Amino acid sequence: MEQLRLKQRILEGKRREALNKIFVIKGSITVFCRIRPFVLAEKRRVSEPVSVGSERVLVKYGGTRKDFEFDKVFTEAASQGYIFVEVEPILRSAMDGHNVCVFAYGQTGTGKTFTMDGTKEHPGIIPRALEHLFHEACTGNSSYTFSMSMLEVYMGNLRDLLAPRPNSRSYEPMTKCNLNIQTDPKGLIEIEGLTEVQVSDYAIAKWWYNKGRRFRSTSWTNVNEASSRSHCLTRINIFRHGDASEAKSQLSRLWMVDLGGSERLIKTGAKGLTLDEGRAINLSLSALADVIAALKRRRNNKLTQILKDSLGDGSKVLMLVHIRPSEEDVCETITSLNFAKRTRAVVSNKEVTMELKKQRDKNITELEEEVKETEKQLQNIRDEIKNAEFNLNKSKKLFSTTHSFTENDEVETCINPKDDVKKITETAEECKKYMKSNLSNSGPRFMNPTVASRERQNAVERDSIGLRSKNLRSIVTRSSVQFPCSQSLSYSDIRVKALLQSSKGKSRHIAAETNAVLTERTNALESKTLNPKSMIVTSSDTSLRIRLCHHRRRMSDLI
């Protein structure tokens, strides 16, 4: 097992390294583009301005053609599952200790919430990622713990979406608004007072996630029935506790962000508060654009402040830009694609010569092959470990079955506690009878006392034996359990009798009190000669202790 685990560690290191190299070559920002399909209610135009390839989007606009290149383009037919497969490597990177930010960007109504959150039938990236994290946490050598927070940036303020509410009704005001953002000595961003819940499994994480998203601000607009009026941020803190060789645990952060839609305010028909919300979203989105374009230079904006540690050096960013391929949205489409292109080009230096690009692609393909191959080997090792664990458990079970069989065997011979009490009483009676008959008829006839001698004898005995009569009675009627080390428990002891007879509802006390009486009487009874015919449950072997233990347990089971 140790050898297998060592092999697994080495392979995990190799896979981590290869994956990281891919991100270095690709650049710290990966940009995917998703095209939203037409839904039934929408009129489909005959001529569509957008055509797509696997990595390209071409937009025809006013007699011109604009070409955009991305790391991947998902057509209208792409399923949620298919998209998630492409997101998985960056999640792996978060598990490996990198800060990661996945965010959905685009015009309002283009499907950002659908991609990040999804529906019950078509879950999006966030619920799938939660499931994936817990699944991955079980497969490797390291152990993981997770905590979760959710907040929204609404009209320039932060709202804690997981904060406890005065009551569960959704229209109750939030208890925690406008939280402060601080930077800790290690450069990590801390949001003062933000609720952070420990999530030990997927079901709990999903429960909290559903709770948080219910409280997100949405309104109806001309473009989207349930338009998100804020940026919604889900943060998973990943604590990786390595094996013995890695002394301290490592914290990495995974942010999954559903940004509010950039919008042309006239088109959305927004008024009053909804209009203000739209303005606030546009403002923070343009700040985000600035931040991503020049990672070091930031406007003092809540959204960019929060994401600071996950957009900087060493962190990985995945941006999913969303577009709708209709004629009427062509201006917004070009704006969004321009933003995505600028981001990709500036941050990852992706505008390179054809030759360099070819070399880069070749390297990436080789590394991806290496990751795949290592994954395969890792899977084999995992299977081997599983097999070994299975065999080990089988042996353990076999051992414990054999062991418990012996015990059970003994338990079977053990008397039912109720029978015990009955037998004890019966035995005491028998003993009395036996002693009576034997004591009175133990000598030859001529030695039997006469009436006068009996009276004399009685008078003497009344004085001398009077004081010991209790003891004598107890000896006469005694039936006892003898224990190893000469311990014996007299059932005729009135305390034990009382305990046994009032056993209903008090069995635990019986066990304890019987023990106390037992200890107390041990020395006293040790030296006394016991009648050989008295009922003695004797055992010189150590298993009696087990039996008694069972006996007590079973007494309590009866109640």
Ligand X SMILES: Nc1ncnc2c1ncn2[C@@H]1O[C@H](COP(=O)(O)OP(=O)(O)OP(=O)(O)O)[C@@H](O)[C@H]1O
Of 30, 228, 234, 534, the one binding ligand X by CB under 6 A: 228
The reply on whether position 37 binds ligand X by CB under 6 A is yes
State whether the Cα torsion 109-110-116-121 is positive or negative: positive
The reply on whether position 127 binds ligand X by CB under 6 A is no
Q: Retrieve residue 64's tokens.
A: 């011109």
Minimum CB distance to ligand X smaller for 39 or for 354? 39
The reply on whether position 84 binds ligand X by CB under 6 A is no
The reply on whether position 108 binds ligand X by CB under 6 A is yes
The reply on whether position 113 binds ligand X by CB under 6 A is yes
The reply on whether position 216 binds ligand X by CB under 6 A is no
Of 99, 110, 142, 534, the one binding ligand X by CB under 6 A: 110
Asked if 235 and 251 count as a contact pair (C-beta separation under 8 A), the reply is no
The reply on whether position 348 binds ligand X by CB under 6 A is no
The tokens 């969004």 sit on which residue?
336
The reply on whether position 40 binds ligand X by CB under 6 A is no
Contacts (Cβ under 8 Å, ≥6 apart) of 120:
none
CA dist 429 → 142, 488, 492 (Å): 68, 19, 11
Query: Would you say 107 is a known binding-site residue?
Result: yes
Query: Would you say 304 is a known binding-site residue?
Result: no
Residue 60, strand partner residues: 65
The reply on whether position 36 binds ligand X by CB under 6 A is yes
Region of 110-118, 244-252, 383-391, 426-434 interacting with ligand X (CB under 6 A): 110-118
The reply on whether position 118 binds ligand X by CB under 6 A is no
What is the total count of residues that contact ligand X (CB under 6 A)? 18
The residue among 80, 72, 67 whose CA lies nearest residue 33 is 72
The reply on whether position 149 binds ligand X by CB under 6 A is no
Give buried/exposed letters for 341-351 (b at 16+ CB in 10 A, else e): bebbbbbbebe
Region of 57-65, 224-232, 413-421, 522-530 interacting with ligand X (CB under 6 A): 224-232
The reply on whether position 124 binds ligand X by CB under 6 A is no
Site for ligand X in 258-297 (CB under 6 A): 260-261
Minimum CB distance to ligand X smaller for 32 or for 202? 32
CB of 27 to ligand X, least distance (A): 25
The reply on whether position 70 binds ligand X by CB under 6 A is no
State the binding string over 183-212 for ligand X (x if CB under 6 A, else -).
------------------------------
Asked if 233 and 306 count as a contact pair (C-beta separation under 8 A), the reply is yes
SS (H, E, C) 101-136: EEEEEEECCCCHHHHHCECCCCECHHHHHHHHHHHH
Contacts (Cβ under 8 Å, ≥6 apart) of 222:
267, 268, 269
Region of 104-112, 385-393, 416-424, 488-496 interacting with ligand X (CB under 6 A): 104-112
The residue among 297, 231, 293, 217 whose CA lies nearest residue 261 is 231
CB of 112 to ligand X, least distance (A): 4
Region of 50-58, 102-110, 363-371, 494-502 interacting with ligand X (CB under 6 A): 102-110
Helix (H) or strand (E) holding 235: strand 231-241
Minimum CB distance to ligand X smaller for 34 or for 551? 34
Contacts (Cβ under 8 Å, ≥6 apart) of 217:
152, 154, 228, 229, 230, 277
Query: Would you say 108 is a known binding-site residue?
Result: yes
* Residue 79 DSSP symbol: -
The reply on whether position 39 binds ligand X by CB under 6 A is yes
Query: Would you say 379 is a known binding-site residue?
Result: no
CB of 351 to ligand X, least distance (A): 28
CB of 76 to ligand X, least distance (A): 7
CB-facing half-sphere around the CA of 311: CA atoms within 13 A: 23
The reply on whether position 109 binds ligand X by CB under 6 A is yes
The reply on whether position 492 binds ligand X by CB under 6 A is no
Minimum CB distance to ligand X smaller for 222 or for 377? 222
* Residue 389 DSSP symbol: H
For the stretch 45-51, contacts whose Cβ atoms lie closer than 8 Å and that sit 24 or more positions apart, written own/partner, are 45/326, 45/327, 47/327, 48/325, 48/326, 48/327, 49/325, 49/326, 49/327, 49/330, 49/333, 50/323, 50/325, 50/330, 50/333
Contacts (Cβ under 8 Å, ≥6 apart) of 467:
none
CA dist 396 → 68, 151, 252, 400, 544 (Å): 61, 48, 38, 6, 26
The residue among 131, 202, 141, 133 whose CA lies nearest residue 382 is 141
Phi, psi of 199 (to 5 degrees): -120, 120
H-state helical runs in 444-506: 451-466, 469-476, 494-501
Per DSSP (E only), the strands in 259-342 are: 316-323
CB of 107 to ligand X, least distance (A): 7
State whether the Cα torsion 8-13-16-22 is positive or negative: negative
CB of 557 to ligand X, least distance (A): 57
State the binding string over 317-336 for ligand X (x if CB under 6 A, else -).
-----x--------------
Region of 12-20, 31-39, 178-186, 400-408 interacting with ligand X (CB under 6 A): 31-39
Contacts (Cβ under 8 Å, ≥6 apart) of 211:
161, 162
Query: Would you say 27 is a known binding-site residue?
Result: no
CB of 120 to ligand X, least distance (A): 12
Of 99, 227, 343, 492, the one binding ligand X by CB under 6 A: 227
Of 11, 26, 102, 111, the one binding ligand X by CB under 6 A: 111
Region of 141-149, 219-227, 248-256, 458-466 interacting with ligand X (CB under 6 A): 219-227
The residue among 142, 96, 136 whose CA lies nearest residue 251 is 96
Minimum CB distance to ligand X smaller for 194 or for 257? 257
The reply on whether position 46 binds ligand X by CB under 6 A is no
Region of 90-98, 105-113, 427-435, 441-449 interacting with ligand X (CB under 6 A): 105-113
> Could you tell me which residues are annotated as the binding site?
106-113
- Please report, as ranges, the residues that interact with ligand X according to CB under 6 A: 36-37, 39, 106, 108-114, 224, 226-228, 260-261, 322
> Could you tell me which residues are annotated as the binding site for ATP?
106-113
